[in-house]
Amino acid sequence: MVQPLHYLKESASQTAGPYVHIGCTPNFVGIEGIFSEDLGSGALYNANAKGERISIRGTVYDGGGNPLKDALIEIWQSDAQGLYNSPSETRGAADPNFRGWGRSPGNMETGEFIFETIKPGKVPFNNGEWMAPHITFWVVARGINIGLQTRMYFPEEADANAVDPVLARVEHKPRLATLIAKKEEGNIYRFDIHLQGDAETVFFDI
């Protein structure tokens, strides 16, 4: 007889639905007085944080080219030294002035999301190679049954991107462009996410 393993099964995902803001960004939809501010809103850094301040703007598009006006986007990233502000970080203490996590709803009229953050440092891959600076994105919305994971890389890091072990997993090289933000004036990066179609963003099973 084969011995039983007794593992539980993960709870199944369900869509966040059109009213995800009620739970995750209530002040954004006018439910005020319960939480003083929406969790994950505002800059990810305070005045003492180390590193280069950047803005990320983008829009999530559906397969018809229409912007999603009801998406919720979260990011998770290392600090300027490449350390994560997490108890699971084993390599040292991250910058206490940088929280590493942020949450932004898409604008209800335009769909645009915005993050005020710092440019992350390089983080080692499991085999000791270096991953290029990147930010992990998680997208949920009405019509998305399980949260979609992707990464944003930086266009000025061409050399690091060229040897990034995660980007190397993408077999169809023209698709790599979907993971690289576009630099705009100032320190603004544009990172649009296409859920479906010719320009479909690369999504990961992490």
Partner 1 sequence: MTNRPPETGPFFARDRSIHPPAYAPAYKTSILRSPQRALISLEGTKSEITGPVFGHNMLNPLDNDLILNYARPGEMPIGPRILVHGRVLDERGRGVDGALVEFWQANAGGRYRHKKETYLAAVDPNFGGVGRTITDADGNYWFKTILPGAYPWPNGVNDWRPAHIHFSIFGHGFAQRLITQMYFEGDPMIWQCPIVKTIPDKAAIERLVAALDMNAALPMDMRAYKFDIVLRGRRSTLFENRMEGN
SS3 137: strand
Footprint on residues 136-165 left by partner 1 (CB under 8 A):
136, 138, 140-149, 151
What is the pairing mode between strands 193-194 and 182-183? unpaired
> Min. distance of Cβ 150 from partner 1 in angstroms?
9
CA 111 – CA 66 distance, rounded (Å): 9
- Whether the Cβ atoms of residue 102 and residue 125 lie closer than 8 Å to each other: no
**Using rule CB under 8 A, residue 56 touches partner 1:** no
Nearer to partner 1 (CB atom), residue 54 or residue 133: 133
**Using rule CB under 8 A, residue 33 touches partner 1:** yes
CA 153 – CA 134 distance, rounded (Å): 5
> Min. distance of Cβ 153 from partner 1 in angstroms?
12
**Using rule CB under 8 A, residue 177 touches partner 1:** no
**Using rule CB under 8 A, residue 30 touches partner 1:** yes
Residue given tokens 């997208």 in the structure block = 139
Binding residue (CB under 8 A) for partner 1 from 47, 90, 159, 174: 90
